[in-house]
Amino acid sequence: MNTIKKDVVIIGGGPAGLAAAVQLKNKGISNIVILEREKQLGGILRQCIHDGFGLTRFKEALSGPEYAQRFIDKVEILNIEYITNATVIDITSEKLVTAISGCGLLKYEAKSIILAMGCRERTRGAISIPGTRPSGIYNAGVAQAYINLHNTMVGKEVIILGSGDIGMIMARRMTLEGAKVKAVFEVQPYPSGLPRNIQQCLNDYDIPLYLSHTITNIKGNSRLEGITVSKVDENMKPIPGTEKDYTCDTLILSVGLIPENELSLAANVELDNRTKGAIVDENYQTSVDGIFAAGNVLHVHDLVDFVSLEAENLSNSVANYISLGKLPKCNIDVLTDANIGHTIPQKISGEKDVKLSMRVKKPFKDCEIDIMQNNKVIKISKFKKAIPAKMLEVKIDKIQIKSLDNIKVVIK
């Protein structure tokens, strides 16, 4: 069987893969291919039909499919090769890519691989809700696919667990389609989605949001019949005596997203236990030379605009990698204090300006994020508010980086 030689193989034709491909082509790297497992390009945006995408990039409130199409159009105009219905089943650290597709088994030998596989949803099994196992329990994204792609309504009387953005958006969507969404329950003492979605998806439709609550029982044999909800204490443990029963035929879980990195592991890419995505340097290069990652496969984003931007920055590095054969070493580790969930990148060189993306672990008001090196503050950034739902960015100029010692990010 023939092995096809490529400069770059891009795994995933969602927002990250599309933006990466367009930017590579614009940088003169033409021998590239996008491998997409679905029938069409666009990734998760195909089912995100609500508006609000592209406010930063296009200064317009587009729907997900429209946002994706802007990039798909560029891919077509630039004649970038893409193969749909092609599932990558293996990648190696030698940059060999194996995919199964409508035209059979495909094998590529690439100079560089871009990981752009996105993320998947945390499931009922991962959060261990007790009770029976009836039908009628869906992940929010699965319900979204049923309703927005397959024209299948998932239920009539709905409870939502988790205040993630997709869950709230589905609360509104199902309400518009005639379902009764009774309540959203969130185990944390603060919402995990964006404030605007609490307003426009829940408050607008009088859907109550209960914080510090979780589901402690699921009832029903063939179809879901109801759930029991309990208040939780500060350690998120259910408080006995606070149980309340709700009837419902549908339970939607919006309890978090996990970067999809099975393939990355196959190539020995080192993952960050906090993000569940790859550990990358300022070039978005992973621990494996020539393998790069951006978008939700790297860390879960709240805005697609940032995914596109990240993928474009990645492609700038990949273009350099292709022409130089390697990139400068990044030996400065970026460490965080307990209230910062993680940063991307996790490693920098100190040789150029760098933007750190991060998330806080709990809400802060009128806070400052300090970048420290050798116990000295080298950069202060002030924020009116910082919430776990929203990614923050802090820029460090090269000139502020004084040595090759590790950097620490602290919030106060």
- Point out which residues bind another protein (CB under 8 A): 46, 49-52, 55, 61-63, 65-66, 69, 147-151, 176-177, 194-196, 198-200, 203-204, 302-303, 384-385, 390
For another protein, give the closer residue by CB, 72 or 267. Answer: 72
For another protein, give the closer residue by CB, 66 or 260. Answer: 66
Q: How far is the CB of 390 from another protein (least distance, A)?
A: 7
Could you tell me which of 367, 345, 361, 351 has the C-alpha nearest to residue 411?
367
**Three-state secondary structure call for residue 27:** coil
In contact, 27 and 311? CB cutoff 8 Å = no
Tokens of 67: 């946002």
For residue 193, how many C-alpha atoms fall within 13 Å in the half-sphere facing its CB?
Answer: 25
Q: Environment class of residue 412 by beta-carbon count within 10 Å: exposed (0-12), middle (13-18) or buried (19+)?
A: exposed
Q: How far is the CB of 74 from another protein (least distance, A)?
A: 14
Query: What are the strands, taking DSSP E only, across 270-391?
Result: 291-293, 332-336, 340-344, 347-348, 354-360, 364-373, 376-386
Tokens of 409: 């990010």
Q: How far apart are CA 47 and CA 65, in angstroms?
A: 7
For another protein, give the closer residue by CB, 29 or 303. Answer: 303
Q: How far is the CB of 342 from another protein (least distance, A)?
A: 20
Q: How far is the CB of 46 from another protein (least distance, A)?
A: 8
Q: 359 vs 30, 306, 391, CA distance in Å?
A: 35, 14, 5
**Three-state secondary structure call for residue 261:** coil
Q: How far is the CB of 61 from another protein (least distance, A)?
A: 7
For another protein, give the closer residue by CB, 11 or 209. Answer: 209
For another protein, give the closer residue by CB, 150 or 376. Answer: 150
For residue 45, how many C-alpha atoms fall within 13 Å in the half-sphere facing its CB?
Answer: 34
Q: How far is the CB of 247 from another protein (least distance, A)?
A: 24
For another protein, give the closer residue by CB, 144 or 315. Answer: 144
For another protein, give the closer residue by CB, 27 or 390. Answer: 390
Q: How far is the CB of 14 from another protein (least distance, A)?
A: 15
